[in-house]
């Protein structure tokens, strides 16, 4: 993360009088894989399209490799084709009137590469996505997964330094999506590509990113590594949108103590300096044990409901701090009605910003 | 049983005239004899021996008009669907206007603008010291020009539809890969909409072959005959040569029919792989300062096809002697006064409006019933009904008029030369238009809405009254207005079927142009246009209400 490849500063994008992106700033380092995560309509795709020059912002600055490609102050707006970025579209946008080869060769031909260099580069790119055997096939005769691979090959064939991904896996079925996720991550590491990736799938975002930006209604909620986002959510929105968490209401009493509405005292961790006006703590459903452990917060409870999911079991437990959801491995099943002690460590009991 | 009855009635209206036409085209004896006594193919051979020049004219004009129409249509479609030209939505609405102006009015207007000697352009040219004429609309090119402007609108509609159904990401990815706007258009947009453009080309060419009005107004003064005007001409000679006219009409029909069938097969086969039928959110390209250049292109088209023609007709109709030089103008309302008080003109206008009201009202009810049978019932043979109903679309109006003329001259029911025959003819030729419009609405209404009413305990009648008809209402209104407009402006079929006691407006305008001054003709054309415009305004209101209701 030595040098900055992409810098977005105070970006604002409006559609008419609607503000889609409202003052977003972040940087992407060389070789970094950054993900914009958020629900639909949060402005993540708009931000990505603004980097590509497909959306006309109304304020802020975007620099690629230190060169301003958009700057509201100097009225700079470099045309899409001169920005030198590459992009994989949600609909793949494979040109149906060309063969697979011609699709992948497009960026190379635009750059006037020699005939044999084009051939070599296309083959290399198709090899990377294991599609070399289909080079001569018409692009309209490909399955969804194949189109996705061709789109990927096309995006990397001309060796761009920055590749933008607009929900590239959202049109695939669940199993294929999981496979492509692994492949994408590997490819990205191998080629050292700097990438910005947009998705609404939090699992995908956590799995493949170096850093994640969580967005909501046009602004950034939190920036951090996947572990930070998961373990130390800053806001109620992040705790709720990424992973699953229990929210407990109350108010802080000192830097690391929290009194719930029912009067239970919990020891908590505050990622930020508490202001005193916070009203909630978040506890991940996966971080709660059902037997007392030394040094942890303890709350008595009673199993109200048990749902067997296969990979895990989900309990709903009534307790003085409210109904708590707990996910445990599917061993040692507890019956409904059993008395338990909820146990979770202070560092997993995160004080959320008001 | 029902199907058989419907098939018989529609078949009687649609197919029987064509059978008479075939019989007459093979008549080589006395052309007025019925039934013919001698059969042969002499009439067909004569086309190649004596009318080669006409065939040649037809082809040249149709090719020129098609090329111009496609060029104009493609350019406008690209500007209006793929770029951020200012005022896009308003401009898009304006594009339909030339079609509603009709080729007849367009041809008259352009005769006023660019006629030799007295045309406005030539008057101005002389006023600034030029000699001779710089524009002459009474030429092959002139005829093609007017056809392209006023009948080529369908090219714009078809091409922009195929552009709208294209995923914008296909273009955007080319831009991201480093291709310029021009390169993107040439390597991605153009090849992708090519099937749509080819289809439009075929369709427009077939239309142009059967086009009548422009060639009638602009071709006859310069003795440039195309097939349609030659058919018209040979029935006017004495004795009228119906055999020859029928042979030409049938040949024209066969050529057009083959082209349209080919066109239909083309769209049915999956050449349109890009066209998923999914509507995409339009993401127009940023054109920067160029946007205003593109705006001027659209504005120029509107000026040439709407503003100048209407202005020229208005100026002409308000003067005693048409001139564009304002210091010589003698302004008067006399032409409107004459047009509205002249007995034959007034009756013709009255007749046209009455026919429009009657045919639209009765027609829509019958067509709604047909649509219900074709698209909602389980009756056997509904495919055949659909085919029959759509059949008149493939027959040039003029040829259908000729066929009906010949049929009703020989059917011993005395409606020839009356408004009843015109009403029948209008209803038959409007079948495709009305059924298509209504079907569009019926197919949008999910079947389950009706089924749900039945499940809730409603009888068929109750369901129709409370669910189906209210949902259909906007569509029925739209179909009614479209048919009304089409009736008021109808020329091709009316030309043959109008009798001395059953005059209608469009052919009357043509004969006024041939016999009296342009000033009076212009006034008549504007009165007809005004009637259509009123209907059009209502139509837009209804259309807007309809989209709102369905959302």
Residues A117 and A176 in one domain: yes
Tokens of B490: 């109808």
| Statement: residue B298 has pLDDT above 80 | yes
Of A81, A87, A90, which has the smallest distance from its Cβ to B180's Cβ? A81
- pLDDT confidence bin for B540, thresholds 50/70/90: confident
Domain boundary among A205, A229, A253: A229
CATH number of the domain that A102 lies in?
3.40.50.300
Number of domains comprising chain B: 2
CB contact under 8 A, B176 and A110: no
Q: Do B179 and A110 touch (CB under 8 A)?
A: yes
Task: Identify whether residues B25 and B47 lie together within a single domain.
Answer: no
Residue of A236, A278, A288, A289 lying closest to A253 (CA atoms): A278
Q: Which of A55, A83, A106, A139 is the best substitution to test chain B (most B C-beta atoms within 10 A)?
A: A106
Q: State the pLDDT at residue B543.
A: 67
Domain match, A193 and A252 both? no
Banded model confidence at residue B548, pLDDT cuts 50, 70, 90 = low
The domain tally of chain A equals 2
pLDDT tens digits, one per residue of B504-519: 888 888 888 888 888 8
Q: Is residue A193 in some structural domain?
A: yes
B430 lies in a domain? yes
When mean pLDDT is compared across A65-79, B205-219, B338-352, B485-499, the lowest value belongs to B338-352
Is residue B326 in some structural domain? Answer: no
Question: Are residues B414 and B539 located together in one domain of the fold?
Answer: yes
State the pLDDT confidence band at B31, using cuts at 50, 70 and 90. Answer: low
Of B172, B183, B273, the CB nearest to A54: B172
Specify whether B541 is located in the same domain as B410: yes
Same domain as B112, residue B20: no
Q: Are residues B57 and B33 in the same domain?
A: no
Bridge pairing between strands A18-29 and A4-15 = antiparallel
Residues A97 and A162 in one domain: yes
**Cross-strand pairs, A14:** A19
* Confidence check: pLDDT of A169 > 60: yes
Sign of the C-alpha dihedral computed for residues A238, A242, A247 and A253 taken in this order:
negative
Interface test with B, best of A50, A70, A91, A141 (most B CBs within 10 A): A91
Together in a domain, A20 and A161:
yes
* Shared-domain flag, residues A102 and A168: yes
Q: Would the ipTM clear 0.85, i.e. be above it?
A: no
Of B170, B180, B286, the CB nearest to A95: B170
Q: How far apart are CA B306 and CA B295, in angstroms?
A: 16
Domain match, B129 and B242 both: yes
Residue B259 lies in a domain: yes
Q: B294 and B83 in contact (C-beta within 8 Å)?
A: yes
State how far the Cα of B343 lies from the Cα of A264, in Å rounded to an integer: 100
Could you read off the pLDDT of A298-332 as tens digits, one per residue?
Answer: 999 999 999 999 999 999 999 999 999 999 999 88
Residue B167 with chain A: CB contacts under 8 Å: 91, 93
Which residues in chain A are closer than 8 Å to B274, comparing Cβ atoms? 96-97
Are A195 and A344 in a shared domain? no
Give residue A117's pLDDT band: very low, low, confident or very high (50, 70, 90): very high
Q: Which tens digits make up the pLDDT trace of A214-269?
A: 999 999 999 999 999 999 999 999 999 998 999 999 998 888 889 998 889 999 99
What is the least distance, in Å, from the CA of A83 to any CA of chain B?
Answer: 8
State whether A218 and A109 are in the same domain: yes
Question: Which of A45, A52, A54, A161 is the best residue to mutate to test the B interface, defined by the most B CB atoms within 10 Å of its own CB?
Answer: A54
What residues of A are in contact with residue B183 (Cβ under 8 Å)? 110
pLDDT digits (tens, 9 = 90+) for B456-487: 767 777 877 777 777 788 788 888 888 998 89
Residue A86 at interface with chain B, using a CB cutoff of 8 Å: yes
Give the domain CATH number at A277.
2.40.50.140
Asked if the structure places residue A20 within a domain, the reply is yes
How do residues B216-239 score in pLDDT, each as one tens digit?
999 988 889 999 999 988 888 777
**B416 occurs within a structural domain:** yes
- Which pLDDT belongs to residue A2? 52
Strand ranges of the sheet holding A297-308, from the earlier edge strand across to the other edge: A322-328, A313-319, A297-308, A339-344
Q: Could you tell me if residue A87 is inside a domain? A: yes
Q: Are residues A212 and A288 in the same domain?
A: no
Q: Does a structural domain hold residue A235?
A: no
- Is there a domain that residue A237 lies in? no
**Residue A214 has what pLDDT?**
96
Question: Based on the domain organization, do B220 and B347 belong to the same domain?
Answer: no
Looking at A229, A257, A289, which one is the last position of a domain? A229
Asked if A50 and A118 sit in the same domain, the reply is yes
Range of B212's domain?
Answer: 41-276+287-311
Question: Do B306 and B398 belong to one domain?
Answer: no
Asked whether residue A287 falls in the same domain as residue A223, the answer is no
Q: What is the 3-state secondary structure (H, E, C) of chain A?
A: CCCEEEEEEEEEEEECCEEEEEEEEEEEECCCEEEEECCCCCCHHHHHHHHHCCCCCCEEEEEECCEEEEECCCCEECCHHHCCCEEECCCCCCCCCCEHHHHHHHHHHHCCCCHHHHHHHHHHHHHHCCCHHHCCCEHHHCCHHHHHHHHHHHHHHCCCCEEEEECCCCCCCHHHHHHHHHHHHHHHHHHCCEEEEEECCHHHHHHHCCEEEEEECCEEEEEECHHHHHHCCCCHHHHHHCCCEEEEEEEECCCCEEEECCCCEEECECCCCCCCCCCEEEEEHHHCECCCCCCCEEEEEEEEEEEECCCCEEEEEEECCEEEEEEECCCCCCCCCCEEEEEECHHHEEECCC
Q: Does residue B441 fall inside a structural domain?
A: yes
Domain membership of residue A333 as a residue range? 244-351
User: Same structural domain for residues A104 and A220?
Assistant: yes
pLDDT > 90? residue A62: yes
Residue B231 included in any domain: yes
Same domain, B47 and B11: no
Mutate which: B169, B177, B190, vs A, most A CBs within 10 A: B177
Q: Which residue has the higher pLDDT, A112 or B447?
A: A112
Please count the residue pairs, one from chain A and one from chain B, whose beta carbons lie less than 8 angstroms apart. Answer: 70
Residue B209 has pLDDT above 60, yes or no: yes
Q: Do residues A262 and A126 share a domain?
A: no
Task: From A229, A256, A291, give the residue that closes a domain.
Answer: A229
CB within 8 Å: A91 and B180: no
The per-residue pLDDT of chain A, averaged, comes to 91
Mean pLDDT for all residues in chain B:
84
pLDDT at A130 over 80: yes
Residues B220 and B260 in one domain: yes
Note whether A93 contacts B274, CB cutoff 8 Å.
Answer: no
| pLDDT confidence of residue B272 | 41
Indicate whether B322 belongs to any domain: no
Q: CA A195 to CA A185: how far, in whole Å?
A: 11
Q: State whether B263 and B411 are in the same domain.
A: no
Q: Are both B227 and B349 inside the same structural domain?
A: no
Report the CATH number that the domain containing residue B364 is assigned in CATH.
Answer: 1.10.3720.10
A343 reaches B (C-beta below 8 A): no
Confidence (pLDDT) at B260:
82
């Amino acid at each position: 993360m030595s040098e900055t490849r992409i810098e977005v500063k105070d970006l604002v994008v409006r559609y008419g009088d609607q503000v889609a992106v409202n003052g977003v700033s972040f940087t992407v380092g060389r070789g970094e894989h950054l993900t914009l995560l958020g629900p639909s309509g949060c402005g993540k795709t708009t931000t990505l399209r603004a980097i590509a020059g497909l959306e006309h912002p109304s304020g802020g600055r975007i620099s690629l490799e230190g060169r301003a490609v958009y700057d509201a102050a100097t009225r700079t707006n470099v045309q899409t084709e001169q920005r030198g970025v590459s992009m994989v579209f949600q609909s793949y946008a494979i040109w149906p009137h060309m063969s697979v080869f011609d699709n992948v060769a497009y960026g190379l031909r635009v750059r006037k590469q020699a005939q044999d260099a084009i051939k070599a580069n296309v083959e290399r790119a198709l090899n990377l996505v294991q599609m070399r055997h289909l080079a001569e096939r018409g692009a309209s005769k490909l399955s969804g997964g194949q189109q996705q691979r061709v789109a990927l090959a096309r995006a990397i064939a001309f060796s761009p330094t920055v590749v933008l991904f607009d929900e590239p896996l959202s049109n695939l079925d669940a199993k294929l999506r999981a496979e492509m996720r692994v492949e994408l991550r590997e490819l990205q590491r191998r080629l050292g590509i700097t990438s910005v990736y947009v998705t609404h799938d939090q699992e995908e975002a956590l799995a493949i990113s170096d850093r994640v930006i969580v967005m909501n209604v046009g602004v950034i909620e939190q920036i951090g590594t996947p572990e930070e986002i998961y373990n130390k959510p800053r806001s109620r929105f992040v705790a709720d949108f990424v992973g699953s968490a229990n929210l407990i209401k109350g108010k802080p009493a000192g830097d690391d103590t929290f009194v719930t509405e029912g009067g239970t005292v919990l020891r908590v961790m505050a990622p930020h300096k508490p202001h005193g006006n916070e009203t909630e703590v978040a506890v991940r459903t996966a971080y709660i044990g059902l037997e007392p452990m030394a040094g942890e917060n303890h709350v008595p409870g009673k199993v109200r409901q048990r749902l067997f999911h296969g990979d895990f079991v989900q309990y709903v437990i009534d307790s003085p701090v409210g109904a708590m959801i707990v996910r445990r491995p599917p061993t040692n099943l507890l019956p409904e009605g059993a008395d338990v002690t909820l146990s979770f460590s202070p560092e997993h009991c995160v004080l959320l910003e008001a | 049983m029902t199907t058989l009855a419907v098939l018989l009635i529609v078949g009687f209206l649609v197919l029987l005239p064509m059978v008479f036409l075939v019989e007459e085209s093979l008549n080589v004896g006395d052309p007025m004899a019925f039934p013919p006594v001698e059969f042969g193919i002499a009439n067909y051979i004569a086309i190649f021996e004596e009318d080669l020049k006409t065939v040649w004219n037809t082809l040249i004009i149709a090719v020129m008009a098609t090329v111009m129409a496609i060029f104009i249509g493609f350019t406008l479609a690209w500007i209006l669907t793929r770029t951020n030209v200012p005022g896009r939505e308003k401009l898009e609405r304006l594009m339909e206007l030339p079609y509603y102006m009709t080729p007849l009015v367009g041809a008259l207007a352009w005769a006023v603008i660019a006629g030799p000697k007295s045309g406005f352009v030539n008057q101005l040219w002389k006023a600034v010291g030029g000699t001779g004429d710089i524009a002459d609309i009474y030429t092959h090119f002139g005829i093609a020009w007017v056809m392209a402007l006023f009948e080529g609108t369908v090219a714009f509609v078809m091409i922009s539809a195929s552009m709208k159904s294209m995923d914008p990401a296909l273009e955007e990815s080319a831009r991201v890969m480093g291709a310029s706007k021009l390169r993107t258009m040439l390597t991605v947009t153009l090849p992708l909409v090519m099937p749509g453009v080819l289809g439009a080309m075929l369709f427009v060419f077939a239309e142009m072959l059967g086009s009548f009005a422009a060639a009638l107004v602009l071709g006859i003064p310069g003795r440039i005959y195309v097939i349609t005007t030659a058919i018209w001409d040979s029935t006017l000679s004495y004795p009228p040569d119906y055999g020859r006219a029928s042979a030409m009409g049938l040949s024209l029909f066969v050529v057009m029919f083959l082209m349209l069938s080919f066109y239909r097969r083309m769209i049915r086969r999956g050449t349109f792989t890009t066209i998923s039928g999914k509507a995409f959110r339009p993401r127009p390209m940023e054109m920067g300062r160029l946007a205003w250049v593109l705006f001027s292109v659209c504005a120029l088209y509107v000026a040439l096809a709407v503003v100048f023609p209407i202005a020229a007709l208005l100026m002409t109709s308000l003067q005693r002697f048409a001139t564009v030089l304002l210091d010589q103008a003698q302004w008067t309302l006399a032409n409107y006064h004459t047009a509205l008080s002249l007995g034959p003109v007034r009756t013709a206008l009255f007749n046209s409006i009455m026919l429009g009201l009657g045919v639209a009202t009765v027609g829509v009810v019958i067509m709604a019933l047909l649509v219900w049978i074709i698209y909602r019932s389980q009756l056997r043979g509904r495919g055949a009904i659909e085919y029959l109903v759509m059949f008149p679309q493939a027959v040039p109006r003029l040829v259908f008029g000729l066929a009906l003329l010949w049929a009703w001259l020989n059917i011993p029911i005395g409606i020839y030369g009356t408004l009843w025959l015109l009403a029948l003819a209008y209803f038959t030729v409007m079948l495709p238009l009305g059924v298509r419009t209504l079907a569009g609405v019926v197919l949008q209404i999910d079947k389950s809405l009706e089924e749900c009413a039945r499940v809730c305990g409603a009888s068929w009648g109750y369901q129709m009254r409370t669910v189906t008809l209210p949902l259909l209402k906007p569509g029925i209104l739209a179909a009614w207005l479209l048919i009304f407009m089409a009736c008021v402006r109808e020329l091709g079929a009316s030309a043959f079927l109008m009798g001395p006691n059953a005059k209608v407006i469009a052919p009357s305008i043509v004969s006024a142009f041939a016999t009296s001054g342009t000033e009076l003709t212009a006034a008549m054309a504007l009165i007809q246009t005004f009637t259509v415009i009123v209907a059009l305004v209502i139509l837009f209101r209804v259309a807007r209400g309809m989209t709102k209701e369905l959302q």
